[in-house]
């Protein structure tokens, strides 16, 4: 089908204002937060499930690739239209449909910004647990499609542990429901497989989330270390002592400096590592647990400990952590963030290898990591105009993935495979494992129209 | 294929001593009265792979089995040639103590796993407490997403598992997930296999998160004369900052059966640091009194443990031939239980009810299986009432005569269309548990 006919047809479904097809818009929608770029043939904003179903049905009938998109914050190229086609933007579908406090559920449209939802819930004393650092700009649809994590996953799990139901538009435009407000619906856990499927299996048009009352007490500690090993060993020791804090977050000196310059949150510029420990739950016994954690820090040569006295101090600490990517981004024109994850006990040796890789490829690497769950985020800084440097960046990123896989970990903890890490899939999966995943893809999307060319590399046979 | 030929082929894969084909002994492995032609006990994952490849080539009907505690569930099998016993595949393959993770093969019982975990280092546990405390195997629990009262705090296997290994019908040995809490590499096949009832693959090994053993634990029992008051207490606790690990509601018949008093009993399991356990005992006790509890009681140490084993294994103690499980939005518990009690009484069927009050799950246990006609009608009523409230109902155990008259998986859902496509892709010959899963898959 030629482009003009396609656009005319789509305008009939969603209205002229909701179809974008100028060169400027193509430029705006050609990228996400990764390094990949590719332009869609047409951008469509939908306002209802019916419209989504209509557009998907049209794409199916005409064999047009289709890629669902929220605010485009994807870190692995998942929202880039590598095969052109329709970029289906869901940001207009951003309403809370049913705030059901009584049943501890909220039903939302996929385009709602995560933090907007959380702010609304807070008015009722309720909380949606997942807290990706990008929650200010990301959408729930994107969080679910990528199975986003965040600092609090150590204790509370990732997005898919909190999404209990969804309305899904299938490849052919058929609308189904999976899960729901009730738990344990009979049948395969299709909701489970849809989480982290990166828009390749179906399009979520409505999500039912678990919400919980806010914790009674929170204690946030900022622990400053002169060596990154001491920080890492502290993490292992805390969990070894039988305590599972809500978060155990670390950052290295390069990150600390960048954050301090950008936000002035009071991080010491010469610290080798900062560890943020947060406890939450009932107030009873929390002071005793805090003391135990501080004692462990001291055993591991902590230089200084600051315990947040109030919400303002806590907010300041978290502003530093959640703004880390942005702050580091100011240091060089570009950064590539790795997302490898290792069993937490292997974290110190993995970090040492990351430092070596940085030296080998002559690249500055800033490290921010969810230490409690072994999720590293080495941020490789560079200038993409320097082609030699860019080549070294890709080589270094691949080597970091190899290191994480060799440590018994995985190549992506929470940012997704997308385009960027597809070549790393074989580091953690056999051809048979991937063949089984391809069968799942074929069951949901036999024509391979939904976000084609992502997640699963072509099979060896085909290549 | 003749019986002799089948037995000889199976023996070729697992060894003669691991193939059971004596007709007298096979009847113990019948599923809904369908007797298998053989029972095989592979000793390795490679043998399972060979068996599955053979089954697919010959289009045999295969049902994987642990200790058989779930064989009463599911639809009547369309065919059954071979029962695949997983009991010899039972090693702990890796216990990473500081990482709080465990990899274990699926033929081991959960009880054995817990014993080993408690005795290693500072002690940890796998926070699952499904029925059949001593018998349930890891494989059976994972394949059925089995859960118990403490899911209120710890959630279910779907949320705990980090990775899974399985043998697909093709004979392919596959591994998904890994050993880390966060992992979005490829599709989340682990979740697809958890609760799949063996219909997509034979689960051979899991990797799971562990939790440190709690510092302290205790149970608070509160008795009520009135359902509304009992449920009001659970709702107050649900919406408070308090964090019990379990919150169970029992009707009078269920309470009496495990030796407790009250027309309705609400039991709270409290675990964690000493200070928090003590405070919650006090605070929930006071809340209960305010809501009109007629009695409260605290259980500690052995009494605490025994009580929860009694709840988990209620079906055994009550000799329940029929077990039903309704799921629904949490706040519908009171009205649904009241309706169920009334309907059961009208039908003249004696039922005991136990519910996870904080999760929207209600179990009904009955020994009155002989009243097939009336019971089938009652199940229909129960299912319709749950479905009306965005819920559903699954028959977890029932004699074949009753299964023939009801829909054991409740009302059909719109997602069955995809489930069917998945089954056709992964198990094109339809060898795994044919006919037993949702939608006759």
- Determine, yes or no, domain membership for A421: no
Domain final residue, candidates A326, A354, A384: A326
pLDDT tens, residue by residue, B154-174: 999 999 999 999 999 999 999
- Determine, yes or no, domain membership for A316: yes
Q: Looking at residue B438, what is its pLDDT? A: 96
- Determine, yes or no, domain membership for A413: no
CA distance B129 to chain A (A): 16
Q: Which of B186, B329, B387 to mutate to test the interface with A (most CBs of A within 10 A)?
A: B186
Query: For chain A, what is the total number of helices (H) and then of strands (E)?
Result: 16, 18
Q: Looking at residue A270, what is its pLDDT? A: 96
The pair phi, psi for residue A339, each rounded to 5°, is -140, 20
Q: Say if residues B89 and B46 touch (Cβ distance below 8 Å).
A: no
The per-residue DSSP string of A341-375 comes to B--GGGHHHHHHHHHHHHHHTT--EEEEEEGGGTE
pLDDT above 70 (res A462): no
- For chain B, the average pLDDT equals 97
User: How far out from the chain centre does Cα A243 lie?
Assistant: 26
Domain match, A316 and A340 both? no
In CATH terms, B3-85 corresponds, of 3.90.78.10, 3.30.43.10, 1.10.3720.10, 3.30.70.1400, to 3.30.43.10
- B185 → closest Cβ in A153, A417, A430: A417
Q: Looking at residue A171, what is its pLDDT? A: 98
- B188 → closest Cβ in A185, A192, A429: A192
Contact B192 A244 (CB under 8 A): no
Domain match, A175 and A142 both? yes
Find chain A residues with C-beta within 8 A of B141's C-beta. none
Contact A285 B274 (CB under 8 A): yes
Q: Which CATH class is domain B92-212?
A: alpha beta
Using the structure block, give the residue that is written with the tokens 């000793």: B43
Q: Say if residues B222 and B233 touch (Cβ distance below 8 Å).
A: yes
The per-residue DSSP string of A30-98 comes to SB-SSS-B---SEEEE--SHHHHHHHHHHHHHTT--EEEESSS--SSSTTS-TT-SEEEE-TT---EEE
First vs last C-alpha separation in chain A:
28
Measured CA to CA, the distance from residue A353 to residue A356 in angstroms comes to 5
Which of A323-332, B166-175, B204-213 shows the lowest mean pLDDT across its residues? Answer: A323-332
Q: Looking at residue A445, what is its pLDDT? A: 98
Find chain A residues with C-beta within 8 A of B147's C-beta. 184
| pTM of the shown model | 0.97
Residues in chain A, total: 463
- Determine, yes or no, domain membership for A442: yes
CATH number at residue A358: 3.30.70.2740
Domain match, A198 and A221 both? no
The domain limits of chain B are 3-85, 92-212, 216-312, 314-403
Range of the domain at A179: 1-214+429-463
- A443 → closest Cβ in B185, B211, B425: B425
Cα dihedral value A369, A374, A375, A376, nearest 10:
50
Q: Looking at residue B319, what is its pLDDT? A: 83
Q: Say if residues A249 and A323 touch (Cβ distance below 8 Å).
A: no
pLDDT above 70 (res B101): yes
If pLDDT is split at 50, 70 and 90, which confidence band does A463 have?
very low
If pLDDT is split at 50, 70 and 90, which confidence band does A154 have?
confident
- Determine, yes or no, domain membership for A21: yes
Domain match, A114 and A63 both? yes
- C-alpha closest to that of B185 among A444, A68, A80, A338: A338
Measured CA to CA, the distance from residue A219 to residue A202 in angstroms comes to 40
Domain match, A186 and A57 both? yes
**Count: domains in chain A:** 3
What percentage of residues in chain B have a pLDDT greater than 70? 100
CATH number at residue A59: 3.30.465.10
Q: Looking at residue A460, what is its pLDDT? A: 65
Q: Which of B53, B187, B324 to mutate to test the interface with A (most CBs of A within 10 A)?
A: B187
Contact B413 A187 (CB under 8 A): yes
Domain match, A120 and A153 both? yes
CATH number at residue A268: 3.30.70.2190
Domain match, A108 and A130 both? yes
CA distance A100 to chain B (A): 10
Measured CA to CA, the distance from residue B106 to residue B89 in angstroms comes to 7
Spatial strand order of the sheet with B173-177 comes to B92-96, B101-105, B202-209, B161-167, B173-177
- For chain A, the average pLDDT equals 95
Domain match, A242 and A105 both? no
Find chain B residues with C-beta within 8 A of A203's C-beta. none
Measured CA to CA, the distance from residue A98 to residue A108 in angstroms comes to 7
Q: Say if residues B319 and B367 touch (Cβ distance below 8 Å).
A: yes
If pLDDT is split at 50, 70 and 90, which confidence band does A1 have?
confident
Measured CA to CA, the distance from residue B39 to residue B26 in angstroms comes to 7
- Determine, yes or no, domain membership for A414: no
CATH topology of domain B216-312: Alpha-Beta Plaits (3.30.70)
pLDDT tens, residue by residue, B38-66: 999 999 999 999 999 999 999 999 999 99
pLDDT above 80 (res B259): yes
The CB-side HSE value for A103 (13 A sphere, CA atoms) comes to 26
Residues in chain B, total: 441
Report, as an integer, the average pLDDT of B25-32.
96
If pLDDT is split at 50, 70 and 90, which confidence band does B131 have?
very high
pLDDT above 50 (res A43): yes
Measured CA to CA, the distance from residue A81 to residue A51 in angstroms comes to 20
Domains B92-212 and B216-312 share a fold: no
Domain final residue, candidates A326, A342, A370: A326
Q: Which of B70, B125, B181 to mutate to test the interface with A (most CBs of A within 10 A)?
A: B181
Measured CA to CA, the distance from residue A458 to residue A61 in angstroms comes to 24
- Determine, yes or no, domain membership for A346: yes
Domain match, A19 and A144 both? yes
Domain match, A202 and A228 both? no
Architecture of domain B314-403: 2-Layer Sandwich (3.30)
Domain final residue, candidates A278, A307, A326: A326
Domain match, A265 and A340 both? no
Domain match, A121 and A239 both? no
Q: Looking at residue A461, what is its pLDDT? A: 56
- Determine, yes or no, domain membership for A82: yes
- B159 → closest Cβ in A100, A157, A370: A157
pLDDT tens, residue by residue, B370-409: 999 999 999 999 999 999 999 999 999 999 999 999 999 9
- A242 → closest Cβ in B188, B212, B415: B212
Judging by DSSP bridges, how do beta strands A334-337 and A365-370 pair with one another?
unpaired
pLDDT tens, residue by residue, A258-285: 999 999 999 999 999 999 999 999 999 9
């Amino acid at each position: 089908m030629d482009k003009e006919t396609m656009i005319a047809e789509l305008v009939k479904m969603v209205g002229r204002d909701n179809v974008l097809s100028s060169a400027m818009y193509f430029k705006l929608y050609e990228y996400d937060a990764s390094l990949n770029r590719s332009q869609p043939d047409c951008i469509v904003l939908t306002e209802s499930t019916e419209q989504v179903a209509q557009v998907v049905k049209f794409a199916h009938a005409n064999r047009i690739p289709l890629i669902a998109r929220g605010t485009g914050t994807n870190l692995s190229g998942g929202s880039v239209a590598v095969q052109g086609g329709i970029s289906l933007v869901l940001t207009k579908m951003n309403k809370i449909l049913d705030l059901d406090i009584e049943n501890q559920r909220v039903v939302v449209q996929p385009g709602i910004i995560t933090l907007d939802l959380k702010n609304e819930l807070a008015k009722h004393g309720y909380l949606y647990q997942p807290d990706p650092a990008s929650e200010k700009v990301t959408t729930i649809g994107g969080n679910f499609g990528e199975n986003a994590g965040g600092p609090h996953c150590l204790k509370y799990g990732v997005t898919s542990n909190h999404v209990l139901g969804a309305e899904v538009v299938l490849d052919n435009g058929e609308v189904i429901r999976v899960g729901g407000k009730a738990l344990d619906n009979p049948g395969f856990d299709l909701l489970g497989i849809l989480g982290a499927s990166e828009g390749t299996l179906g399009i979520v048009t409505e999500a039912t989330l678990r919400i919980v009352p806010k914790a009674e007490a929170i204690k946030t500690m900022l622990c400053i270390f002169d060596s990154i090993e001491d920080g890492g060993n502290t993490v292992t020791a805390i969990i070894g002592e039988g305590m599972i804090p809500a978060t155990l977050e670390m950052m290295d000196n390069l990150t600390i400096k960048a954050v301090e310059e950008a936000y002035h949150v009071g991080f010491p510029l010469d610290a080798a590592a900062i560890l943020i420990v947060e406890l939450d739950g009932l107030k009873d016994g929390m002071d005793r647990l805090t003391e135990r954690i501080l004692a462990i820090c001291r055993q591991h040569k902590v230089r200084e400990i600051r315990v947040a006295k109030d919400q303002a101090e806590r907010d300041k600490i978290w502003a530093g952590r959640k703004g880390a990517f942005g702050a580091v981004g100011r240091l060089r024109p570009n950064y590539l963030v790795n997302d490898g994850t290792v069993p937490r006990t292997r974290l110190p040796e993995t970090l040492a290898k990351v430092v070596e890789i940085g030296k080998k490829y002559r690249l500055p690497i800033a490290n921010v990591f969810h230490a409690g769950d072994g999720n590293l985020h080495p941020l490789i800084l560079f200038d993409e105009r320097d082609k030699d440097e860019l080549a070294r960046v890709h080589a270094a990123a691949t080597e970091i993935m190899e290191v994480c896989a060799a440590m018994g970990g995985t190549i992506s903890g929470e940012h997704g495979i997308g385009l960027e890490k597809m070549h790393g899939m074989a580091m953690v999966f056999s051809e048979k494992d991937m063949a089984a995943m391809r069968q799942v893809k074929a069951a949901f999307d036999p024509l391979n129209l939904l976000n084609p060319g992502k997640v699963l590399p072509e099979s060896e046979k085909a290549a | 294929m003749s019986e002799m030929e089948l037995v000889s082929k199976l023996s070729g894969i697992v060894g003669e001593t691991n193939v059971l084909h004596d007709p007298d002994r096979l009847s113990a492995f019948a599923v809904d009265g369908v007797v298998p032609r053989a029972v095989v006990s592979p000793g390795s994952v490679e043998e399972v792979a060979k068996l599955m490849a053979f089954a697919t080539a010959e289009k045999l009907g295969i049902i994987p089995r642990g200790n058989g505690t779930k064989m009463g569930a599911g639809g009547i099998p369309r065919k059954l040639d071979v029962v695949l016993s997983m009991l010899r595949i039972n090693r702990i393959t890796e216990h990473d103590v500081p990482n709080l993770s465990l990899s274990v093969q699926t033929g081991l019982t959960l009880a054995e796993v817990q014993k080993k975990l408690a005795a290693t280092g500072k002690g940890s546990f796998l926070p699952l407490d499904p029925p059949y405390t001593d018998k349930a195997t890891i494989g059976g629990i994972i394949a059925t997403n089995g859960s118990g009262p403490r899911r209120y705090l710890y959630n279910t296997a779907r949320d705990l598992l980090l990775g899974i290994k399985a043998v697909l019908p093709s004979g392919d040995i596959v591994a998904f997930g890994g050993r880390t809490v966060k992992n979005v590499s490829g599709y989340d096949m682990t979740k697809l296999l958890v609760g799949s009832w063996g219909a997509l693959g034979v689960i051979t090994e899991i990797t799971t998160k562990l939790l440190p053993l709690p510092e302290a634990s205790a149970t608070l029992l509160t008795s009520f004369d009135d359902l509304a008051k009992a449920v009001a207490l659970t709702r107050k606790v649900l919406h408070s900052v308090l964090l019990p690990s379990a919150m169970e509601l029992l009707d009078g018949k269920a309470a009496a059966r495990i030796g407790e008093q009250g027309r309705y009993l609400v039991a709270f399991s409290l675990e964690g640091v000493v200070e928090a356990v003590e405070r919650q005992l006090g605070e929930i006790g006071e809340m209960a009194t305010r809501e009109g509890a007629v009695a409260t009681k605290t259980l500690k140490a052995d009494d605490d443990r025994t009580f929860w084993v009694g709840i988990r294994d209620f079906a055994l103690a009550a000799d329940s031939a029929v077990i039903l499980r309704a799921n629904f939005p949490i706040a519908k518990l009171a009205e649904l239980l009241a309706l169920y009690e009334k309907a059961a009484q009208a039908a003249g069927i004696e039922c005991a009810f136990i519910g996870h009050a904080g999760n929207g799950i209600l179990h009904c246990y009955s020994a009155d299986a002989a009243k097939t006609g009336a019971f089938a009608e009652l199940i229909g009523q129960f299912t319709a009432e749950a479905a009306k409230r965005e819920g559903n109902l699954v028959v977890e155990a029932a004699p074949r005569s009753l299964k023939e008259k009801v829909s054991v998986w409740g009302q059909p859902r719109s997602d069955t269309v995809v489930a069917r496509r998945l089954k056709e892709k992964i198990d094109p010959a339809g060898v795994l548990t044919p006919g037993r899963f949702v939608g006759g898959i």
